[in-house]
Amino acid sequence: MTPRGWALCTLGVLAVALAVLALVTVPWHRPPAPRADQLAALRELPQQQVARARAFHAELRPTVYSAMAVGLAATLLLGFTSLGARLVTLAGRPFGDAWLARAVLGGLVLMLLVEVITVPFAAWRHVVTVRYGISTQSWGGWAVDLLKSYAVGAVLGAVALAGFYAVVRAAPRWWWAFGAAGAAMLVVLLSFILPVLVEPIFNKFTPMAASPLRTELMDLAAQDGVPVSDVLVADASRRTRAVNAYVSGFGPTRRIVVYDTMLDQASPAEVVSVAAHELGHAKRNDVLTFTVMGALGAAAGVVALSVLGGWSALLRRAGVDAIGDPRALGLVLAIAAVAGLLAGPAQALVSRRVEARADAHALALTGDAGTFEAMQRRLGTVNLSDPDPPTWEYLMSATHPSTVERMAGARAYARGAR
Residues with active-site annotation: 278, 359
Q: Which long-range contacts (C-beta less than 8 Å, at least 24 apart) are formed by 311-316?
A: 314/80
Instruction: Tell me if 281 is assigned to a ligand binding site.
Output: yes
- Gap between the Cα atoms of 166 and 104, Å rounded: 11
Per-position b or e across 195-215, b if 16+ CB within 10 A of its CB? beeeeeebbeeeebeeeebbe
Please state, as a whole number, how many other Cβ atoms lie within 10 Å of the Cβ of residue 88.
26
Instruction: Tell me if 355 is assigned to a ligand binding site.
Output: yes
DSSP code at position 331? H
| Residue of 411, 415, 402 lying closest to 53 (CA atoms) | 402
Beta carbons of 220 and 275 less than 8 angstroms apart: yes
Per-position b or e across 337-346, b if 16+ CB within 10 A of its CB? beeeeeeeee
Instruction: Tell me if 57 is assigned to a ligand binding site.
Output: no
- Binding site for Zn(2+), by residue number, is 277, 281, 355
- Binding site, by residue number, is 277, 281, 355
